[in-house]
Amino acid sequence: MRIRIVDAFTDRPFAGNPAGVLLLDTDAFPDDGWLQNVALEVNHAETAFAHPLPGSGDADWALRWFTPVAEVAMCGHATLATAHVLHTTGSHEGPVRFATRSGVLVAAPAEDGSVTLDFPTAPLTPLPLPEGFAETLGAEPLTAFDTGPNVGDLLVEVSDERTVHALRPDLKALGAHSARGVIATARAENPSLGYDFVSRCFFPNVGIDEDPVTGSAHTALAPYWSERLGRTALTGLQASPRSGRVRTELRGERTLLGGRAVTVIEGELQSAALPRGRAMKHGGPTG
């Protein structure tokens, strides 16, 4: 069984957000305990597991995502990474439809190697600022929004880009304010640098102190900044230490997320690590 580490939302190795990707040659997922153990062993923000579906359905592949400690409802960078692996290994040609906990998600590769994801737009519900939250975050938010069940974050805008870069939140206390974590954002200080807004994402509730680049968060950032900036097509910079850029295009109830990916590691799970009762098959669906 082949396993790959792919850096997503970047065009160079050791940047963007790394994800583990396993393409399974089965018609169902192994048990959840095995999936979670593999994700813990990979120990990146997300590990994606996918298996092919019959050709007559609404989707081509089934897809699930696990952090080292939990399964999540939606993940952008690991979906991008999976689509990249399917395309570069010849396991799937053209747009791929993934059956997920968040519905059918489509990933369309382009000739230049980039991939565009079609995700549901996150509904934004204004919230009063939680008491004591400014001290927890390390900055005074201007606004706060709930991002709905698929994303599960608290989205807050702070005063400027420099404040986003300087955040040093109390991660233990931060986890009490949302299901997954907190997205902190601000308008770009200098749009001529090629991005319109910045963000950082802190997800202590799923074992990720700070996520390098978060596609799912941009399904909330896209409608938020499109309304404020008066444009449907934007580029976001996630200002983590690894950093990465996400192209967004708001299309009503759907949001397009665009980016590139690079495979940096390819290996093989050994027999002792395979699901119980499954013999090693050399080669497998990825060639």
- Rounded CA separation 245/254 (Å): 19
255, 120 in Cβ contact below 8 A?
yes
DSSP for 153-186 reads EEEEE-S-HHHHHH----HHHHGGGSSSEEEEEE
Question: Which residues are tagged catalytic?
Answer: 46
Q: Is the dihedral of CA 68, 151, 166, 243 positive or negative?
A: positive
81, 47 in Cβ contact below 8 A?
no
| Cα angle: 279, vertex 87, 108; to 5 degrees | 130
21, 4 in Cβ contact below 8 A?
yes
Nearest to 48 by CA among 93, 92, 18, 13: 18
- Rounded CA separation 233/134 (Å): 31
Distances (CA, A) of 98 to 59, 121, 245, 260, 267: 6, 17, 23, 18, 24
Residue with tokens 């597991």: 49
Q: How many helices (H) and strands (E) does the chain have?
A: 7, 18
- Rounded CA separation 107/187 (Å): 28
263, 6 in Cβ contact below 8 A?
yes
